[in-house]
């Protein structure tokens, strides 16, 4: 604290549970310590640094009634936290902090966003823009609609400027990507449109704070204001300053002709769009009433606006389906950033839009943490696709796919995947993704799921890998759905048009082996060595990593393809747009237990936005000081440029540049004989990166970098720490180099680029075209830079710079691309007027009516809200208008010879009415002002500083024709009258300060008097408030004493008069008795009666005066009693509130403790399980090589045994066949033997007979021939 507080002062003290707790000072102790009494009755001794002043607010609601936190008397962390907490408990979720809107997520539906609310904020915006109502117009509470309306009004106020300098004309779309084809590397084309009338609404906050829903509300409101019925030329504030009459006539004629042509073109576009939508819709209803030709060009233009509005709003379900997922912090977390641009014509009609996306979280496609899910679309497909189509795509359930099994529950509470899928399909039709394209999309996404199920194994005893036998079915499914089995040639792919996806998949037959093509692309790559191409085979782990990389690149390019389709649908049609409002929905500052490359990029983004936020807030303060004529010297704001240099610097190299360097230096292929695992290689890269970062960034010459602390533990753990504006964050180096490189080797890219899936093929072709465009842009920038250097005498080298830049652009890393995108984004934002919305997540349970104060404070710090408060407190944070200052503090005018309170008040009234003399007696006349002019002077910043972005109501020039000389004269007269009134009020304020005594008047240098306000330092204003309270107390005591003395004097006079009358009555009675005359007696009696009547009247007056005095005293006593009772009641209520708050905190602490215990238990179990897995993984890593050899040997042995078994089985079959053959042979042999025996017997018999005959013949012949001669018969 800046100064000690008296006993009884209300304060805030630091509290471990509530962050800041309400207390009252009891007494100041020794050594700068103070004893305070807490609301629960306990005492605590605190130091000066642990205590802040607290305003003891009166009235119902207290801090909850403050719509703008800058109006709090004490503007610090405790007061802001208390106000937000009190408002949240009353379901008041929106609070302003100057130009920043704080939105606390209620986690419930609130009746704040119906059409009536849109109309209310729209009408008030129109009235304020036209300068109608002033302060008499009751302000609506802070709201996201009010912020959107403010952006729209700021755009329209300046829309009459030089349109030729800022026109966003339609540009031809490169290769079908569409004009303004953002999201996938295409620029929205806004850099060529610098204009202060362009606006940006920046929505930020941590995951679960409600950024996406807030963005939807902003889009909805701006879309409503961009409808033709809202932008009627007869509506309030429609007239704006234009060119002179002669120029305006020509411009008007040209604009009318252009509008007529554009309306005719819109008619054709509307009919074509309706036909396309109707044809694409499976139910034939996508086009609706747009299917019929419009009756008139005006109707066609309105149809075009309605079509753009629907497409913009319906792009959210599409992008959420493929870009949102369940995390531990948010059930519908956006895992990408987006910049949505709403393009408006000069008359405020919505003409088109564009979307650019940033940093889609690719790792979630293949891996999710415990309790989390992958992207919604995978679960929606399983729940919403028809059963026949699910069977055709091979979708048998979420739990059957590897890349979805790691996460948490399949179904989410409060989300219906079936309903969401139907909404997604309908939204796709609206944004121009027809039925045929959706069929290609479902096939591609299903192919990704099946590709994630593919596993790889060692290819026998040789080096390399192959698809495992048990996942060949998944590989076949993936190849068929992604079209790897039906490739097209590069020439055919290059010759395809933008309608390649218009034809539905025909399910044609394969032209090659899809599994072989997939395996060949993922299990090795070709390396050029001395002009020769040498193929390097991958290990199973490397092949698995290559498959995951291919999955990520296919999915991310599909997401970019959808963004391009949305941009094609919503781009401006056939006319120029004059201005735009951008809505940035970006990830908030993140810090987790383990932070990696994603968190580094996210926090780098927030550092950049925070610097812009600080500069903008500082600029607003400076402009107000300058417009008021207040000294601005000596006030500085915190600049985090050193953090940005640490991250994005090039000379010297920052973190991103050093990561890029490690990406270039890492080996492209494994060396022969390298047996390290992929995890060991990644750890080695992490160690090298960590060492490089600490050596280069921790400080030179033995010094230290306060933004980059170092130490042996960080080096040992391969981590580095960055001191961000929101706190210290430690990042783990493991995996950063690989994530930054995000490489997919050429074989896999070629496989996907020429695949048979038309959507995937087109997505790759558009991405390659975007890379070529980026390279061309980089080369053009390099040429321009080289030309500038040459013109400045820098010499040559331009050719080398161009070649180097083009080469770098063609090999852009993730970090370099994101840095370039962020630079382009900030280039657009810096040329616009920003409007900030900070979303706050009240609790981690995502439950309504619960606020966790420590978490809220942390988010306020991370969101820069407290930094905005700090900037607002610089210099003279308390600003009081002159009229209010004189009206409230006139009782402090006590110096003789100066104007007193009554004269000062009269001077203020005269100044507000315009024309009376001031308190110093000088003539201060002037022209009579318009009604409500004083409100502009008394309202804090109602008129605004000239040229201040986002300020002012546009009071001048909104009520008539700006070309009319009479209007100009009236504006000048009103301006002069306003200046005269401000001067009168300023003199009144100066006179009041001069009349104050030295004890009351603030010290010199603690205040300054501006043109419309008095600026105070906090301490001076607090002193002034105490003096006013004391003066008002003294005045009350004096008034009471004067009343008592006056009534006592009147009572004494009445009693004296009564005594005189009684004496006269006695004298009259004596005179009557002495005279004896009847007439004299009658006259005396008559006189006596008259005197008695007067006496009775005097008595009655005296009694009345006494009764009045008694009544007054009774009223005073009753007032004292009531005040005492009220004070006692407030004390009792405070104690009851404290008791209830204590009970609430106890219950909350109990719930929190239970939650933390359960979380600790689950965390412990998870850590144990993780440790077990790490241990198993470590063992696996240590034994992997031996295991692979043993596995190879076992497989070889198994193959040998299988071969032997097969041979044995064949031999067994052969033996069985032989046995059967032998059995049959034996049967045949037996019959043959019997036949042979019979034939042998017959032959023997014949032989015996023949022998006998032969002997007989021989004998006969011998006998005939003689001895020694034998002749055959």
3-state secondary structure 32-51: HCEEEEECCCCEEEECHHHE
Where b means 16+ CB within 10 Å and e means fewer, 757-787 reads bbbbbbbbbbbebbbebbbebbbeebeeebe
Taking residue 898's Cβ as centre, other Cβ atoms within 10 Å add up to 17
Distance of CA 1080 to the CA centre of its chain: 106
For the beta sheet containing 878-881, the strands, ordered from the edge strand earlier in sequence to the opposite edge, are: 878-881, 1013-1016, 1007-1009
Give the Å distances, CA to CA, from 82 to 43, 87, 853, 1142.
21, 9, 9, 15
Distance of CA 219 to the CA centre of its chain: 14
List, in order, residues 6 or more apart from 113 with CB less than 8 Å away: 145, 217, 220
Residue 365: strand, helix, or coil: helix
- 892, 941 in Cβ contact below 8 A? no
* Residue matched to tokens 């006596």: 1088
Residue 1014: strand, helix, or coil: strand
Residue 496: strand, helix, or coil: coil
List, in order, residues 6 or more apart from 1191 with CB less than 8 Å away: 458
Taking residue 966's Cβ as centre, other Cβ atoms within 10 Å add up to 9
**Binding site membership: which residues?**
205-212
Domain edges within the chain = 1-52, 597-733, 878-1016
Nearest of 697, 679, 696 to residue 738 by alpha carbon: 679
* Cα–Cα dist 315/565, whole Å: 10
* Cα–Cα dist 118/744, whole Å: 49
What end-to-end distance do the CA atoms of the chain give, in Å?
Answer: 158
Residue 586: strand, helix, or coil: coil
* Cα–Cα dist 677/666, whole Å: 16
Half-sphere exposure of 149 (CA within 13 A, CB side): 21
Nearest of 97, 128, 213 to residue 835 by alpha carbon: 97
List, in order, residues 6 or more apart from 63 with CB less than 8 Å away: 55, 57, 72, 79, 82, 83, 86, 87
Give the Å distances, CA to CA, from 1065 to 335, 1071, 1082, 1101.
104, 10, 14, 19
Nearest of 403, 337, 407 to residue 365 by alpha carbon: 403
Helix (H) or strand (E) holding 27: strand 19-28
Helix (H) or strand (E) holding 222: helix 211-225
Q: What is the pLDDT of residue 438?
A: 95
Q: What is the pLDDT of residue 1145?
A: 66
- 767, 810 in Cβ contact below 8 A? no
φ, ψ for residue 456, nearest 5 deg: -120, 150
Taking residue 1077's Cβ as centre, other Cβ atoms within 10 Å add up to 11
Q: What is the CATH number of domain 597-733?
A: 1.20.58.530
Q: Tell me: cis bond preceding 485? Omega within 30 of 0 counts.
A: no
Residue 939: strand, helix, or coil: coil
**Helix residue spans in 734-842 (DSSP H):** 736-741, 746-753, 758-791, 798-810, 814-830
Give the Å distances, CA to CA, from 801 to 656, 777, 780, 794, 1169.
21, 13, 11, 13, 53
The verdict on pTM exceeding 0.75 is: no
* Cα–Cα dist 494/786, whole Å: 34
- 13, 23 in Cβ contact below 8 A? yes
**Binding site membership for ATP: which residues?**
205-212
Three-class SS of 1061-1117: HHHHHHHHHHHHHHHCCHHHHHHHHHHHHHHHHHHHHHHHHHHHHHHHHHHHHHHHH
* Cα–Cα dist 760/478, whole Å: 13
Q: What is the pLDDT of residue 822?
A: 93
- Mean pLDDT per 10-residue run, the chain (1273 residues)? 66 91 82 85 88 71 77 83 92 90 94 93 86 70 95 81 36 36 47 66 90 94 85 40 36 43 46 42 36 46 78 92 90 91 91 92 90 92 94 93 81 81 95 93 96 90 82 95 88 71 73 89 83 83 92 96 93 74 89 91 92 83 83 70 92 92 81 75 93 85 77 93 91 94 87 91 89 80 79 59 49 88 92 93 91 91 74 72 80 58 55 44 33 32 34 38 54 74 80 72 78 80 76 70 73 77 75 59 67 73 71 66 64 64 68 71 72 67 62 70 74 75 76 77 79 75 57 43
CATH of 1-52, one of 3.40.50.2300, 2.30.30.140, 3.30.460.10, 3.30.1490.20: 2.30.30.140
Tokens of 98: 């100057």
* Cα–Cα dist 291/280, whole Å: 13
* Cα–Cα dist 328/331, whole Å: 7
Give the Å distances, CA to CA, from 861 to 51, 78, 936, 999, 1040.
19, 12, 34, 39, 51
Determine the angle formed by the axes of helices 597-628 and 814-830, rounding to 10 degrees: 20
* Cα–Cα dist 1236/1243, whole Å: 10
């Amino acid at each position: 604290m800046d100064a000690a507080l008296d006993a009884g002062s209300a304060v805030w003290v630091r509290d471990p549970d509530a962050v800041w707790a309400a207390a009252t000072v009891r007494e100041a102790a020794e050594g700068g310590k103070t004893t305070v009494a807490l609301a629960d009755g306990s005492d605590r001794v605190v130091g000066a640094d642990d205590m802040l002043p607290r305003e003891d607010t009166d009235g119902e609601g207290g801090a909850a009634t403050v719509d703008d936190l800058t109006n709090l008397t004490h503007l610090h962390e405790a007061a802001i936290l208390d106000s937000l907490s009190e408002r949240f408990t009353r379901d008041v979720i929106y609070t302003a902090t100057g130009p920043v809107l704080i939105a606390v997520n209620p986690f419930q539906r609130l009746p704040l966003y119906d059409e009536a609310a849109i109309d209310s904020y729209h009408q008030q915006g129109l009235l304020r823009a036209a300068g109608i109502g002033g302060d008499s117009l009751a302000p609506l509470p802070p709201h996201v609609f009010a912020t959107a309306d403010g952006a729209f009004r700021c755009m329209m106020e300046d829309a009459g400027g030089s349109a030729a300098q800022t026109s966003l004309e339609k540009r031809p779309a490169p290769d079908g990507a569409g004009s303004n084809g953002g999201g996938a590397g295409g620029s929205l084309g806004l850099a060529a449109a610098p204009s202060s009338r362009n606006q940006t609404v920046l929505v930020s906050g941590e995951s679960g704070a409600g950024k996406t829903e807030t963005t939807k509300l902003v889009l909805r409101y701006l879309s409503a204001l961009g409808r033709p019925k809202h932008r009627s030329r007869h509506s309030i504030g429609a007239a704006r300053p234009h060119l002179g009459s002669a120029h305006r006539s020509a411009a008007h004629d040209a604009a009318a002709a252009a509008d007529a042509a554009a309306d005719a073109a819109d008619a054709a576009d509307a009919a074509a769009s309706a036909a396309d939508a109707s044809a694409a819709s499976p139910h034939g209803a996508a086009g609706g009433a747009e299917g019929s030709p419009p009756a008139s060009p005006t109707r066609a233009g309105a149809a075009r606006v309605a079509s753009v509005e629907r497409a913009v709003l319906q792009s959210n379900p599409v992008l959420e389906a493929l870009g949102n997922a369940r995390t531990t912090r948010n059930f519908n977390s956006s895992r990408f950033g987006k910049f949505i641009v709403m393009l408006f014509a000069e008359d405020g009609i919505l003409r088109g839009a564009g979307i650019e996306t940033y940093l889609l979280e690719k790792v979630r496609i293949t891996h999710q943490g415990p309790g989390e899910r992958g992207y919604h679309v995978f679960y929606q497909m399983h729940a919403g696709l028809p059963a026949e189509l699910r069977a055709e795509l091979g979708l048998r359930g979420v739990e059957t796919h590897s890349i979805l099994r790691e996460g948490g529950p399949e179904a989410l509470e409060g989300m219906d995947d079936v309903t969401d899928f139907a909404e997604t399909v309908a939204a796709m039709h609206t944004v121009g993704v027809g039925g045929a394209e959706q069929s290609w999309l479902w096939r591609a996404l299903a192919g990704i799921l099946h590709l994630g199920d593919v596993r790889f194994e060692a290819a026998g005893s040789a080096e390399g890998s192959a698809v495992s036998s048990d996942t060949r079915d998944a590989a076949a499914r993936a190849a068929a759905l992604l079209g790897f089995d039906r490739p097209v040639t590069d020439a055919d792919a290059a010759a395809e048009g933008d309608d390649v996806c218009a034809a539905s998949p025909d399910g044609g037959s394969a032209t090659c082996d899809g599994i072989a093509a997939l395996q060949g692309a993922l299990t090795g790559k070709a390396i050029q060595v001395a002009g020769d191409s040498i193929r390097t085979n991958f290990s199973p782990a490397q092949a698995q990593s290559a498959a995951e990389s291919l999955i990520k690149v296919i999915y991310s390019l599909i997401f970019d393809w959808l963004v391009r389709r949305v941009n094609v649908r919503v781009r401006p049609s056939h006319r120029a747009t004059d201005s735009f409002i951008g809505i940035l929905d970006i990830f908030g500052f993140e810090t987790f237990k383990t932070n990696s490359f994603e968190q580094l990029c996210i926090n780098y983004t927030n550092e950049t936005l925070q610097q812009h936020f600080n500069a903008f807030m500082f600029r607003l303060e400076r402009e107000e000081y300058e417009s008021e004529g207040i000294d601005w010297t000596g006030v500085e704001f915190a600049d985090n440029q050193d953090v940005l240099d640490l991250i994005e610097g090039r000379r010297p190299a920052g973190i991103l540049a050093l990561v890029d360097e490690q990406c270039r230096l890492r080996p492209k292929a494994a060396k022969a004989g390298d047996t390290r695992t992929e995890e060991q290689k990644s750890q080695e890269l992490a160690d090298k990166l960590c060492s490089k970062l600490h050596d280069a960034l921790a400080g030179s010459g033995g010094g230290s970098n306060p933004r980059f602390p170092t130490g042996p533990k960080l080096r040992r753990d391969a981590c580095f720490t960055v001191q961000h504006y929101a706190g210290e964050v430690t990042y783990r180096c493991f995996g950063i180099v690989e994530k930054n490189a995000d490489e997919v080797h050429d074989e896999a890219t070629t496989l996907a680029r020429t695949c048979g899936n038309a959507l995937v093929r087109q997505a790759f072709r558009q991405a390659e075209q975007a890379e070529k465009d980026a390279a061309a842009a980089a080369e053009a920038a390099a040429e321009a830079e080289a030309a500038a250097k040459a013109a400045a005498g820098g010499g040559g080298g331009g050719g080398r710079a161009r070649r180097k830049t083009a080469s770098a652009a063609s090999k852009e890393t993730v970090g370099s691309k994101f840095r370039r995108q962020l630079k382009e984004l900030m280039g657009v934002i810096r040329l616009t007027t920003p409007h900030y919305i900070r979303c706050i997540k009240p609790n981690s349970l995502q439950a309504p009516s619960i606020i966790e104060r420590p978490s809220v404070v942390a988010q306020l710090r991370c969101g820069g809200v407290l930094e905005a408060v700090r900037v607002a407190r610089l210099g003279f944070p308390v600003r009081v208008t002159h009229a209010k200052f004189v009206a409230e503090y006139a009782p402090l005018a006590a110096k003789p010879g100066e104007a007193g309170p009554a004269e000062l008040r009269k001077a203020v009234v005269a100044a507000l009415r315009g024309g009376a003399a001031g308190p110093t007696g000088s003539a201060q006349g002037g022209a009579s002002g318009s009604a409500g002019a004083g409100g502009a002077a008394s309202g804090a910043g109602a008129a605004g500083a000239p040229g201040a972005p986002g300020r002012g109501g546009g009071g001048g020039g909104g009520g008539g024709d700006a070309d009319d000389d009479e209007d100009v004269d009236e504006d000048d007269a009103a301006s002069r009258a306003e200046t005269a009134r401000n001067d009168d009020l300023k003199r009144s304020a100066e006179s009041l300060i001069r009349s104050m005594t030295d004890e009351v008047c603030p010290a010199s240098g603690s205040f300054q008097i501006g043109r419309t306000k008095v600026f105070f330092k906090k301490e001076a204003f607090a002193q002034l408030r105490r003096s006013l309270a004391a003066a008002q107390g003294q005045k009350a005591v004096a008034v009471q004493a004067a009343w008592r003395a006056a009534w006592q004097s009147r009572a004494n006079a009445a009693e004296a008069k009564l005594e005189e009358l009684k004496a006269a009555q006695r004298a009259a009675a004596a005179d009557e008795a002495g005279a004896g005359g009847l007439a004299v007696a009658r006259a005396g009696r008559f006189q006596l009666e008259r005197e008695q009547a007067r006496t009775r009247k005097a008595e009655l007056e005296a009694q009345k005066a006494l009764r009045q005095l008694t009544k007054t005293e009774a009223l005073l006593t009753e007032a004292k009693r009531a005040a005492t009772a009220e004070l006692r009641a407030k004390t009792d209520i405070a104690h009851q509130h404290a008791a209830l708050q204590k009970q609430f905190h106890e219950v909350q602490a109990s719930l929190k403790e239970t939650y933390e215990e359960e979380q600790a238990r689950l965390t412990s179990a998870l850590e144990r399980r993780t440790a077990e897995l790490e241990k198993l993984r470590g063992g696996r890593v240590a034994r992997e090589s031996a295991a692979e050899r043993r596995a190879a040997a076992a497989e070889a042995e198994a193959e040998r045994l299988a071969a032997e078994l097969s041979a044995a089985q064949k031999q067994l079959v052969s033996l069985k066949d032989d046995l059967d053959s032998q059995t049959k042979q034996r049967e045949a042999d037996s019959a043959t033997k019997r036949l042979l025996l019979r034939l042998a017997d017959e032959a023997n018999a014949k032989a015996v007979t023949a022998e006998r005959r032969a002997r007989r013949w021989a004998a006969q012949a011998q006998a005939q021939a003689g001895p020694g001669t034998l002749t055959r018969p």
